[in-house]
Amino acid sequence: MKVKPTEDRLLVRRLESEEKTAGGIIIPDTAKEKPMQGQVICAGPGRRNDKGEVIPMSIKEGDKVLFAKWSGTEVKVGNEDLLVMKESDVLAIIE
């Protein structure tokens, strides 16, 4: 299945979190928090202003982003769990 987001939405793959703490303690899967970093897989064309003109996205495919813990909507595409979120849900681009 092929998915392309509309307007100012992004399709994001969560990046895996660390399995050990800085002190070397291994964190079990049940105690892990969901990662708040991801990589943009696909981006929509951008939102429209009052005149109907498209305002291009500042985030592009391949960018690594930081987002709030409960941002976006989880979707399953094929065998993969992804997030669909608005561009405004992204807090920062990681360089």
Task: Answer yes or no: is 64 within a domain.
Answer: yes
pLDDT digits (tens, 9 = 90+) for 13-31: 998 765 655 666 666 655 5
CATH of the domain at 39: 2.30.33.40
Place of tokens 């951008």: 46
Place of tokens 């399709």: 11
Task: Answer yes or no: is 78 within a domain.
Answer: yes
> Taking the model in full, what pTM does it have?
0.78
Task: Answer yes or no: is 40 within a domain.
Answer: yes
Task: Answer yes or no: is 1 within a domain.
Answer: no
How many other β-carbons are positioned within 10 Å of the β-carbon of residue 5? 20
pLDDT digits (tens, 9 = 90+) for 42-76: 999 999 999 989 999 999 999 999 998 888 999 99
Question: Total domain count for the chain?
Answer: 1
Measure Cα distances from 12 to 16, 22, 44, 53, 55 in Å. 13, 27, 12, 25, 20
Per the structure, the complete domain to which residue 61 belongs is given by 9-17+32-94
Task: Answer yes or no: is 41 within a domain.
Answer: yes
